[in-house]
Amino acid sequence: MAYMRGSPADYDAWALAGNEGWSYSHILPYFKYSEGNYDKDISKNLYYHSTQGPLDVGRYPHVDDNVDILLGAFNEMGYNYTDINGKNQLGFMRIQTTSYFGERVSTYTAFIEPIQIIRSNLVIITEALVTKVIFKHTQNTMRAVGVEYMMNGTIYKALAIKDVIVSAGAINTPKLLMQSGIGPKEYLDYLNIRIVRDLPVGANFHDHVSVCLPIIRLGKTATAETFVEKLRDITTYYGKGIGPLSANFQVLGLFKSKYSDVPGAPDIEIRFKGHDSHMYYDRMDMCVSLLTPHSRGQVVLNASDPVFGKPLIYPNFLKDHRDEEKLLEGIQIAISLFDTEVFKKAEFEFDPRLILNNECKNDKRATDDFWLCIVKHFSEPLHNYVGTCKMGPPSDPAAIVDDHLRVYGVERLRVVDASVIPKIPRGSTLAPVIMIAEKASDIIKTSWY
């Protein structure tokens, strides 16, 4: 639910790479089209924000004592409270979320549910699996004309009058394209899949690698409750939409490491969450995430069952040594919070016991080698997968779609999801993917009407 747009530098880099119309000045209106920001402090900045869109954006209604302590510690370290979706990304804030009165607002809730009944030209088929894009060869062109899908064991066809739009995500979109014949020729030949177009589908897979360390032990601000108190909280939440159950993690900081070469743009994210529970906890996880990964992986089909088997993901996290170095600096920033008077006064204690059940405990001191060892043991995906159907100009050999999101070499086939992102934005990908959909809507309407 984190609403983070990333840095303007992200989208300017997309445009400089040859994706015309994707610079920050071009895509900012599309962020605002969907945004319905109800936070009185944030929404007053009308240059960056809108209150009119269908997607509710604001802060959680519940704030426990630990939120204020974390914000105070960052302030003591000299960082600025900022709106990370505004002019300055560097600093910290209470995260903006796609929620309203403690309830998640999904893209279905915001965009589909309000018009589902009144739109006669919208048909939603559930519990169905698309197995193939259907193509028609005409003269010297290949055209997408529909899809095959399976429902209750029966194969059906859905034919398109205009475009076929694939929006299955950064893992299932490349899977669908490859099993339909669009992908690396050598690999598809190996699987005996008829080649429609030879493109490097599935490559350029990347994500924000995160290292979550349960090292903050709480004293007087622990939020653990008795069973009776939890029942009370359930009643409060369902009755009024407030209380501990109306919140998730809230404090987030964006920082610039010494390796960043983009002025004013962060490459490290630090966030906090209750260990084992977002509501009732006596220990907190300190999560450091890499916003600008260099390592790249790949998604491929499952050779034993390309259609119904789960795709194989080779993420190659930390393959590039620069990623480890950035995470190390992020951990050092996070650990320095324990030196603040705010942490000491709140009795936030550094307790590494839960991260030492491995060979890292052989290090006698908390050296760089120790923390690099911890990075290797505790790194995990942040599930912001992107890049497997990369957007790029015709001169880019790694590009799958052009700047109008059309698949190269195939007419009337577009991809609209996180897979087209050429380089991951500096933040969670929910808001950028919604922006891409808003812009795609305009692109498609301009093409046909």
Mean pLDDT (the chain) is 95
Give DSSP secondary structure letters for 47-101: TT--SSSSEEEB--S---HHHHHHHHHHHHTTPPB--TTSS--SEEEEPPBSEET
Boundaries of every domain in the chain: 1-59+103-205+389-449, 62-94+206-381
d(CA 294, CA 323): 6
pLDDT of residue 382: 95
Q: What is the pLDDT of residues 39-71, one digit of tens each?
A: 999 999 999 999 999 999 999 999 999 999 999
What are the residues facing 157 on neighbouring strands? 148
pLDDT average, residue stretch 387-401: 98
Confidence class for position 226, pLDDT limits 50, 70, 90: very high
Q: What is the pLDDT of residues 155-172, one digit of tens each?
A: 999 999 999 999 999 999
CATH for the 1-59+103-205+389-449 domain, from 3.50.50.60, 3.40.50.300, 3.30.70.2190, 3.90.730.10? 3.50.50.60
CATH for the 62-94+206-381 domain, from 3.40.190.10, 3.20.20.20, 2.60.40.10, 3.30.560.10? 3.30.560.10
- The answer to which of 123-132, 279-288, 363-372 has the lowest mean pLDDT is 363-372
Q: What is the pLDDT of residues 115-128, one digit of tens each?
A: 999 999 899 999 99
Confidence class for position 364, pLDDT limits 50, 70, 90: low
Which position has the token pair 């890049």?
A: 387
Closest to 80 measured CA to CA, from 70, 93, 68, 69: 93
pLDDT of residue 278: 86
pLDDT above 70 coverage of the chain, percent:
100
pLDDT of residue 261: 85
Report whether pLDDT(200) > 80.
yes
CA 433 to chain centre: 8
pLDDT of residue 346: 96
3-state secondary structure 42-54: CCCCCCCCCCCCC
